Amino acid sequence: MAKEQVQIFDTTLRDGEQVPGCKLDTKNKLKIAKRLDELGVNILEAGFPISSPGDYNSVVEISKIVKNATVCGLTRAVKKDIEVAADSLRFAKKPRIHTGIGTSDSHIRYKFNSNREKILERAIDSVKYAKKFVEDIEFYAEDAGRTDNEFLAHVCEQVIKAGATVLNIPDTTGYCLPNEYGSKIKFLKENVKGIHKATISCHCHNDLGLATANSISGVLNGARQIECTINGIGERAGNTSLEEVVMIMRQHPDLNVDTSINSKLLYSTSQLVSESMGMIVQPNKAIVGANAFAHSSGIHQDGVIKKRETYEIINPKDVGVDKSSIVLTARSGRAAIAYRAKKIGHDLTKLELDNVYKEFLILADQKKEINDSDLPEIIKKVK
């Protein structure tokens, strides 16, 4: 049976770029946009066009070069925002306007000093207005994670009637638990009239480290689009990480969902974004971190050398990493030393290995990591 497709909506260049101090210029944005298109993202959120002339210009230029993905621009539920976004998307083969407004009581009361009726009216008006410019309209109910489900369902129903093709249900503050976020999506699937006419999208922030889990929970409950960023970058603790959700669906065929992402480009894309933004990837980051396929303890190394799958659930080649690595530290065992020695041309006997190991431990207790230039020195000493 063919797997159901989950659309990947990449927002590295919009929500991702909201990381303090990591601003990208148009040249770098174009480089990343080209790569995201090659990676196979379905929708590429290129920016928030009204926010600055630079962002407007980036959306214009990105629209010209993207070949496959839908190009999307963010707006508030404000006419001028929508006009500027529509204008910036004029060269896009497949343009989408992403408009919306806060729907939680907190946003309604404190941000807008308004009430539910007026917010609903603005939501409907903004979708109707955006529809005058493009066919594909995504509506976001900001802070949906903390919005009352009945009201959220009512807003969703009305914006679908007004022409929204995608409903974005953001957990803007990263507050929800996975079962809570999943139940919200299920509630919308079961209670919004006309829901079959729209795609439900998950947009989860990582304030409690739950963005990936929440997005997957959303998909398990009927969402068919995930909004995410390369390396999980974004406001505060970041957004859902693209590489994580893609590989979760790939590694779990039982979920019966997949994406169009070429996973072999994940590692190099992560590096490109990291270098362009001057933002390092934490070494223990799932999928793309420097240690994601590195083994340093003796027990693990022994297993991986015998059969990679004993300690790895992903083949590194599938995400564009050349190979797993055996790192030599004071926690390494004889198997790892013999393995690395062989790689640099020394086939050690059992006795030689015992002697090398003793010397190795003395040095390893002083140094964090023993590299390929240290090993020949130790071998020379004992051979």
Query: Which residues are at the interface with Zn ion (CB under 5 A)?
Result: 15
The closest alpha carbon to 141, from 152, 125, 130, belongs to: 152
Residue 109, number of CB atoms within 10 A of its CB: 12
- Min separation Cβ 179 and ligand KIV, Å: 21
Closer to Zn ion by Cβ: residue 15 or 55: 15
* Nearer to ligand KIV among residue 111 and residue 343 (C-beta): 111
Q: Phi/psi of residue 122, each to 5°? A: -65, -40
Q: Identify which of residues 210 and 364 has a Cβ nearer to ligand KIV in the complex.
A: 210
Rounded to a whole number of angstroms, the minimum distance from the CB of residue 97 to ligand KIV is 12
Q: Which residues contact 217 (CB under 8 A, 6 or more apart)?
A: 178, 179, 181, 182, 185
Closest approach of ligand KIV to the CB of residue 96, in Å: 13
Residues in touch with ligand KIV (CB under 6 A): 15, 140, 142, 168, 170, 172, 203, 205
- For ligand KIV, which is the closer residue by CB, 173 or 271? 173
Please state the closest distance from residue 304 (CB atom) to ligand KIV, in A. Answer: 39
- As beta bridge partners, residue 170 has 203
β-strand pairing of 7-10 with 225-228 = parallel
User: Which residue number, 41 or 292, has a Cβ lying nearer to Zn ion?
Assistant: 41
- State the nearest-atom distance from the C-beta of 86 to Zn ion, in Å: 22
Q: How far is CA 70 from the centre of its chain?
A: 17
Minimum separation from the CB atom of position 167 to ligand KIV (A)? 11
> CB of residue 35 vs ligand KIV: minimum separation in angstroms?
22
Question: Which residue's beta carbon is nearest to the bound Zn ion?
Answer: 15
How far apart CA 267 and CA 287 sit, in angstroms, is: 8
Question: How many residues does this entry show for the chain?
Answer: 383
Q: Which is nearer to ligand KIV, 77 or 356 (CB)?
A: 77
For every residue of 133-198, DSSP letters joined together read T-SEEEEEEETGGGS-HHHHHHHHHHHHHHT-SEEEEEETTS---HHHHHHHHHHHHHH-TTGGGS
Residue nearer to ligand KIV on the CB measure, 170 or 218: 170
What b-and-e string marks burial along 368-383, b requiring 16 or more CB atoms within 10 Å of the CB?
Answer: eebeeeebeebbeebe
Residue 346 DSSP class: -
Q: Which two tokens stand for residue 333?
A: 């065992």
- Tokens representing 44? 């590429």
- Closer to ligand KIV by CB, 172 or 225: give it: 172
CB of 165 to ligand KIV, least distance (A): 15
Q: 36 and 272 in contact (C-beta within 8 Å)?
A: no
CB of 170 to ligand KIV, least distance (A): 3
Distances (CA, A) of 32 to 86, 277, 280: 22, 11, 16
Q: Are 257 and 216 in contact (CB under 8 A)?
A: no
Query: The tokens of 342 are what?
Result: 């062989």
Q: Which partner in Zn ion, ligand KIV, none is near 140 (CB below 5 to 8 A by kind)?
A: ligand KIV
DSSP state of 45: E
- Residue pair 123/160 in contact (Cβ under 8 Å)? The answer is no
Query: Quick one: 221 or 229, whose CB is closer to Zn ion?
Result: 229
